[in-house]
Structure 1
Amino acid sequence: MERILVINPGSTSTKIAVYEDETPLFVKTINHSKEELAPFKEPFDQYEYRRDLVLRTMEENGVTRDTLTAVVSRGGLLPPVRSGAYEINDDMIWQLHYRPENEHASNLGAPIAKSIADELGLKAYVYDPVTVDEMTPIAKVAGLPEMRRKSLGHPLNMRAIAHKYAKDSHTEYEKLTLIVAHLGGGITISLHQNGRMIDLISDEEGPFSPERTGGLPTFQTLKLAAESGRSFKELYNYVKKQGGLMGHLGTNDGREVERRIAEGDEHAALIYEAMAHNISKHIGALATVVHGKVDAILVTGGVAHSRMITDWITQRVSFIAPVHVYAGENEMESLATGVLRVLRGQEQARTFTKVEDL
Structure 2
Amino acid sequence: MSVLVINSGSSSIKYQLVDPDTGEAVATGLVERIGEENGLIRHTYGDRVREIEGPVADHGVGLETAIGLFEEIGPSLTDGAIRAVGHRVVQGGKYFDGPALIDDAVQAKIEELCPLAPLHNPAHLKGIVVARRLLPDVPHVVVFDTAFFQSLPDEAAVYALDRDIAERYEVRRYGAHGTSHHYVSGRVADILGRDDLRQIVLHLGNGASVSAVESGRAVETSMGLTPLEGLVMGTRTGDIDPAVVFHLARVGGMSIDELDTLFNRGSGLKGLTGENDMRLVRSMAAAGDERARTALDVYAHRIVKYIGAYAATMGGLDAITFTAGVGENDADLRADVIGRLEPFGVKINQELNAARSKEPRILSTADSRVAVLVVPTNEELAIARQAMSLV
2:61 pairs with one of 45, 49, 69: 49
Residue 284 of structure 2 aligns with an amino acid whose one-letter code is R
Alpha-carbon spacing, 1:289–1:334, altered in 2? closer, same or farther (3 Å): same
Equivalent in the alignment of 1:89:
103
SS of corresponding position for 1:69? strand
SS of corresponding position for 1:192? strand
Alpha-carbon spacing, 1:99–1:138, altered in 2? closer, same or farther (3 Å): closer
1:236 pairs with one of 237, 257, 260: 260
1:19 aligns with 2:18: yes
| Residue 275 of structure 1: how far off its partner (Å) | 0.6
Structure 1 distance, partners of 2:136, 2:198, is: 39
Most deviating of 131-140 and 308-317: 131-140
Q: Deviations over 1:3-55 (max 9, x none)?
A: 111111111211121122311111111212442699xxxxxx95633441342
Q: Structure 2, unaligned stretches of length 5 or more?
A: 40-56, 347-369
Equivalent in the alignment of 2:29:
28
Alpha-carbon spacing, 1:99–1:169, altered in 2? closer, same or farther (3 Å): closer
| Residue 228 of structure 1: how far off its partner (Å) | 1.7
TM-score, scaled relative to structure 2: 0.75
1:177 pairs with one of 187, 190, 198: 198
TM-score, scaled relative to structure 1: 0.81
| Residue 220 of structure 1: how far off its partner (Å) | 4.4
1:256 aligns with 2:305: no
Alpha-carbon spacing, 1:99–1:200, altered in 2? closer, same or farther (3 Å): closer
Equivalent in the alignment of 2:359:
none
Equivalent in the alignment of 1:308:
332
Structure 1 distance, partners of 2:37, 2:298, is: 40
Residue 9 of structure 2 aligns with an amino acid whose one-letter code is G
Q: Deviations over 1:200-222 (max 9, x none)?
A: 11153323222111112344443
Alpha-carbon spacing, 1:288–1:94, altered in 2? closer, same or farther (3 Å): same
Structure 1 distance, partners of 2:145, 2:132, is: 16
SS of corresponding position for 1:264? coil
Structure 2 distance, partners of 1:216, 1:258, is: 23
Equivalent in the alignment of 2:383:
335
Equivalent in the alignment of 2:352:
none
The alignment covers a number of residue pairs equal to 330
Structure 1 distance, partners of 2:90, 2:101, is: 13
Alpha-carbon spacing, 1:79–1:142, altered in 2? closer, same or farther (3 Å): closer
Equivalent in the alignment of 1:8:
7
Structure 1 distance, partners of 2:320, 2:203, is: 11
Please report the RMSD computed on the Cα atoms of aligned residues, expressed in angstroms: 2.8
Equivalent in the alignment of 1:200:
221
Alpha-carbon spacing, 1:123–1:287, altered in 2? closer, same or farther (3 Å): same
| Residue 334 of structure 1: how far off its partner (Å) | 2.9
Residue 253 of structure 1 aligns with an amino acid whose one-letter code is D
Q: Aligned residues: percent identity?
A: 26
Alpha-carbon spacing, 1:89–1:71, altered in 2? closer, same or farther (3 Å): same
Alpha-carbon spacing, 1:306–1:81, altered in 2? closer, same or farther (3 Å): farther
1:296 aligns with 2:319: yes
| Residue 171 of structure 1: how far off its partner (Å) | 4.1
